Amino acid sequence: MAESKQIPCLDHGFVRLVDSMGDDLAIVRAARVSYDAEPRRDGSDGKLIRYLMRNRHTSPFEAVTLTFEVKAPIFVVRQWHRHRTWSYNEVSARYAELPEDFYVPNPSDVGEQSKSSKQARDIGHEVSSDAKAYCLALRKASEGAFDSYRGALGAGIPRELARLYLPLNTYTRFFATVDLHNLFGFLRLRLHPHAQHEIRVYADAMLRLAKTVAPVATDAFSGTFFDD
Report the predicted TM-score, pTM, of the whole model to 2 decimal places.
Answer: 0.90
User: Is 184 in contact with 86 (CB distance < 8 Å)?
Assistant: no
**Each residue's pLDDT tens digit, 10-46:** 999 999 999 999 999 999 999 988 766 666 666 688 9
User: Is 7 in contact with 14 (CB distance < 8 Å)?
Assistant: yes
* Residue bearing the bigger pLDDT, 67 or 113: 67
**Each residue's pLDDT tens digit, 35-88:** 666 666 666 889 999 999 999 999 999 999 999 999 999 999 999 999 999 999
**Each residue's pLDDT tens digit, 130-180:** 999 999 999 999 999 999 999 999 999 999 999 999 999 999 999 999 999
- Tell me the one-letter amino acid at 201: V
**Each residue's pLDDT tens digit, 185-221:** 999 999 998 899 999 999 999 999 999 999 999 999 9
Cα separation, 54 vs 98, in Å, equals 44
| Spatial CB neighbours of 3, under 8 Å, sequence gap ≥ 6 | 208, 212
Look at residue 125 in the predicted model and tell me its pLDDT.
75
Q: Quick check: is 16 catalytic?
A: no
pLDDT > 60? residue 228: no
Look at residue 41 in the predicted model and tell me its pLDDT.
61
User: Comparing C-alpha atoms, which of 188, 136, 149, 186 is closest to residue 15?
Assistant: 186
Q: Catalytic: which of 150, 190, 200, 208? A: 190
User: Is 15 in contact with 186 (CB distance < 8 Å)?
Assistant: no
Secondary structure E strands in 125-221: 171-179
Rounded to the nearest angstrom, the gap between the alpha carbon of residue 57 and the centroid of all alpha carbons in its chain is: 24
- Tell me the one-letter amino acid at 99: P
**Cα angle 181, 185, 190; round to 5:** 140
Using alpha carbons only, how large is the chain's radius of gyration in Å? 21
- Tell me the one-letter amino acid at 208: R
